[in-house]
Structure 1
């Protein structure tokens, strides 16, 4: 099953910055695209732990130092072993929670903490995507173990820049378990937008975990907010975020540039951390609603399978979350299935209506009086 999982970054490229062109300037367009700096006036992700299910995160990177804790190797359910820091997981953790120390790289939620749950072992090599056969499904997949571990060890958000073809029952159950614990689950939708299948059918294969119900699927956009050509397009897409030319931190030190839906998912995970920091009791479905309802660059039809509801806006998501804290839960963002309308009348109690009984009794009494009066009048006339 391990060979069925791969990191969803199309490329990690050499960084073009220099001492005269610092990384913060290189990444400013990403912060602007997500409206992050305005959100920082409210929260920077304090008291939130984001689990990164990926390759192991290098906690010695200066922007992550002192804020990364590691879980066991998720590829084995029985033994623990030392896992070397990975290029991909470190890059994603930096996008989420890098501190910006010494004018260095800054993540979307720079006050958040990272729980590293290693699952992808060798992320520098391309990995096969083999759909599991029905008779070859493990009792518990590495991802299922990682999700349960995250939910049981204090993670409020889980970032999954990984994917494979084909759902697994153990993963569905683990997703349900984590959601039930109030954990927000976010995953990259995949980089299959330019495959022959996608071109021939006008849609991409679904990637999991993004395809599981309750998981926020994230597509990639470019600097203009348009869908990146490689980004998968299918109904697992809920929202989108920058995924083209995104600066990221490197193992040990330095920076490079990322291309892929991995970066987009990590950035949205950072925004979710901001929301959970400000509104810790907001359930996962309402976090998803806040992200979707407040997105910018919404498609003309309101939604499409390329960018979902649009590009996530961190400040607007916080405002939407504030409104939702006192709102009734809704199935989908921006939709009221039965309309608002007028309230239904209070049902009447069973049995006879007292008002009608009095009206009926009064009418009978008046009729009797009139009848008796008519008889008395007739008798008086006869006596005359």
Structure 2
């Protein structure tokens, strides 16, 4: 069953960093690639809760202490279980909201909060082949991800980060995605690490991963230090934007740091940028947050878009500027299609019914004609006499 086959999208490669440099120095290239420090002059994410749907987050990590709320276990349905914090979920939460305590790792939105929703464990098997075809309407009525999305949307999350994935959509998840979007929640997901699979080689495209493949979800690909697409990063039309996903420092459970590789890290970083936007512009709807991220991205492909890095690498400061411009727009404009929505608005349509000015002109003309007619009759009568 697909619902039971949920796995960690990134198959995040975590390994002990060989460099003895302080973690802030190791992560500087990531902050530079996303232009985060300039964005911090405007906001650091205060007032925004980001739900991390993943393995559990370690609340005792110094950079996250006091700023993580733990929701119910989403894997167990109505049964509550105590699950230990996960390596993967803790790493993703740190990329989003780590405070930088004691010169430690700092997240993209260091003043945001985390809502930890456990949907997988670090021991879940990774999917390596597409599942058999199924009729979406005949699938299970609920799934852990669907429950997690609704819970997050109902408990104050403004952004949801999903560094998870499986092959094949579920109706319950698609409906939960729509529900969360309808409540103004920004959804961000990793597109997967299938770029080097046999399927990708044979078909020149990667198999779609969900939730990144659901409409309205911001799918994130991974890039390296040169801004190039990481070879393992999935390439398909679920990719909207890209972010660093190679050699990215992350926090470990309990203490310490590791290096990460995968689209998981890229998605968490973009979720942090989305938190910055929602902190500054809390009423900006999800589709316009996505538009701000895409329209302001750096390293845009020559064609404007491709299925490897989407519209380019996210630029946090530029995205905030784009969001500011969008706050005055009454309609969404797809990136690259600005000529359909910019410029002066058309004038308001004339209300139905007679035009008062034209009535006065018409009435005045009629009155003038009557006066002239009556005057002509008087003159003619006088001549006859």
- TM-score higher than 0.5: yes
Residue 359 to residue 343, structure 1, CA distance change in 2 (3 Å): farther
Residue in structure 1 matched with residue 300 of structure 2 by the alignment: 298
Counting only pairs closer than 5 Å after superposition, residues 1-384 of structure 1 correspond to structure 2 as: 1-19=2-20, 21-123=21-123, 125-127=125-127, 130=131, 133-134=134-135, 137-334=139-336, 335-337=338-340, 340=343, 343-344=346-347, 346-347=349-350, 349-351=352-354, 353-354=358-359, 357-358=362-363, 361=366, 368=373
Number of equivalences: 379
Post-superposition CA distance 1:276-305 (Å, at most 9, x none) = 122222221221121112111112222222
Once the two structures are overlaid, the 10-residue window that deviates more, 330-339 or 34-43, is: 330-339
Task: Please give the root-mean-square deviation of Cα atoms over the aligned residues, in Å.
Answer: 2.6
Q: Distance in 2 between matches of 1:180 and 1:326?
A: 20
Secondary structure in 1 matching 2:63: coil
Distance 1:346 1:24 in 2: 58
Larger Rg: 1
Separation (CA, whole Å) in 2 of partners of 1:341 and 1:38: 31
SS at 1:245's partner residue? Answer: strand
Q: TM-score, normalised by structure 1?
A: 0.89
Cα distance in structure 2, aligned partners of 1:141 and 1:105: 34
Give the whole-Å Cα distance in 1 for the aligned partners of 2:359 and 2:51.
64
Task: Map Cα deviations across residues 202-241 of structure 1 (whole Å, 9 max, x no partner).
Answer: 2222211111111111111111111111111222111110
Q: 1:341 to 1:270 in 2, by over 3 A?
A: closer
The question of whether the paired residues in 2 share the 8 Å contact of 1:286 and 1:324 is answered with: yes
Could you tell me how far apart the structure 2 residues matched to 1:262 and 1:124 are? 15
Aligned equivalents of 1:116 and 1:61: distance in 2?
14
Q: What SS is found at the alignment partner of 2:53? A: strand
How does the TM-score come out when normalised to structure 2?
0.89
2-structure distance, mates of 1:349, 1:279:
38
2:265 is paired with a residue whose SS is helix
* Structure 1 gap segments, 5+ residues each: none
Q: How far apart, in 2, do the equivalents of 1:9 and 1:345 lie?
A: 51
Distance 1:254 1:125, change over 3 A: farther
Distance 1:218 1:57 in 2: 21
Give the 3-state SS of the residue equivalent to 2:114 in structure 1: strand
Q: Distance in 2 between matches of 1:80 and 1:349?
A: 62
Aligned residues of 1:160 and 1:265 also touching (Cα < 8 A): yes
Say if 1:7 and 1:123, in contact at 8 Å, map to a contact too: no
Runs of 5+ unmatched residues, structure 2: none
Bigger mean CA deviation after superposition, 164-173 or 350-359? 350-359
| 1:374 positional shift | 11
Kept in 2: contact 1:217–1:237 (CA 8 A): yes
Query: Given that residues 131 and 165 in structure 1 are in contact (C-alpha distance below 8 angstroms), is that contact kept between their aligned partners in structure 2?
Result: no
- Asked if the contact 2:68–2:115 (Cα under 8 Å) also holds between the matched residues in 1, the reply is yes
